[in-house]
Amino acid sequence: MTDFLDANGCVPESPRPPRIIGYLGSIVAAVTTEPSKWSRELPMKCRRRPNRKPCPGTIRAGFEPATRNIIWACLLCSDNGVMHHWQNTPWDKGGRIGLPRIGRVTYRRGMLTDLTSAGGIESVVLEGAAVSRNIVVALHDNELLGASGEYGNPLLGDPIQYDQLIIEHSKGETEIVVYNRAIMLFTSADEIYKRVHRVCWMIENAACPA
């Protein structure tokens, strides 16, 4: 779905966007407004015009099992598709299947002269209502609950950029440590650094007064 957006993440107004963009966007909006474990029939008519006559079928859509994709199909004709990279687009209404219950998120970040001084750096703690739905969705979409471990190389920076993310959730605790995040974003093809970066940015902004 991001292929339909401009450089600012918006639907371009000029030239006039093809109708297919609004059609697929409506499916994403419907599925993420009322998420369901199973695909369901939407109050949407099929877009096809076989033999130049509107197809009277309706659309069934939902989350594809075991993936982050959204699948859809007309109940009458053969029109169907799979949509990915719909998260955080203008059509994403925030609904997800199986969102985790997050009790507390602790984020520590700073510059270290050596790894023994990590305990005294600045920290941000969000718990209860402060853990907004947007942060829970970001943790879910970026698949961080299953990403425990240490990432990056502490020898690449002097001083060492240190990021520690501790997520306390219903299934236990996840701890992620990233060394020299800024350097690794540019030097590594591993997506984990980008995913951690997105979530840490949201946590920092949530902790700042408006």
Torsion of CA 197, 200, 202, 203, to 10 degrees: 180
pLDDT of residue 171: 87
Nearest Cα to Cα of residue 169 among 132, 134, 127, 119? 127
pLDDT digits (tens, 9 = 90+) for 15-58: 777 888 999 999 999 999 988 888 999 999 999 998 889 999 99
**Hey, what are 182's tokens?**
């800024």
pLDDT digits (tens, 9 = 90+) for 81-120: 999 999 989 999 989 888 889 999 999 999 998 888 887 8
pLDDT digits (tens, 9 = 90+) for 164-208: 999 999 889 999 999 999 999 998 889 999 999 999 999 988 876
Nearest Cα to Cα of residue 165 among 194, 133, 136, 124? 124
pLDDT of residue 166: 96
Bond before 159 cis per omega within 30 degrees:
yes
Strand ranges (E), 46-141: 58-63, 70-74, 80-83, 102-112, 123-127
Q: How far apart are CA 63 and CA 31, in angstroms?
A: 8
Residue 5 has pLDDT above 80, yes or no: yes
pLDDT of residue 41: 94
Give 13's contacts (C-beta < 8 A, 6+ positions apart). Answer: none
Is 48 exposed, middle or buried, given 0-12, 13-18 or 19+ CB atoms closer than 10 A? middle
Where residue 210 falls among pLDDT bands split at 50, 70, 90?
very low
Class of domain 102-207: alpha beta
Helix (H, G, I), strand (E, B) or coil at 124: strand
pLDDT of residue 35: 87
Domain assignments of the chain as residue spans, ordered by start: 2-83, 102-207
> How far does Cα 10 stand from its chain's mean position?
17
By 3-state DSSP, what share of the chain in percent is helix, strand and coil, each rounded to 5? 30, 30, 45
Phi and psi for 101 in degrees, rounded to 5? -95, 115
Residue 156 has pLDDT above 70, yes or no: yes
pLDDT of residue 208: 62
Of 3-12, 20-29, 70-79, the one with minimum mean pLDDT is 3-12
Residue 79 has pLDDT above 50, yes or no: yes
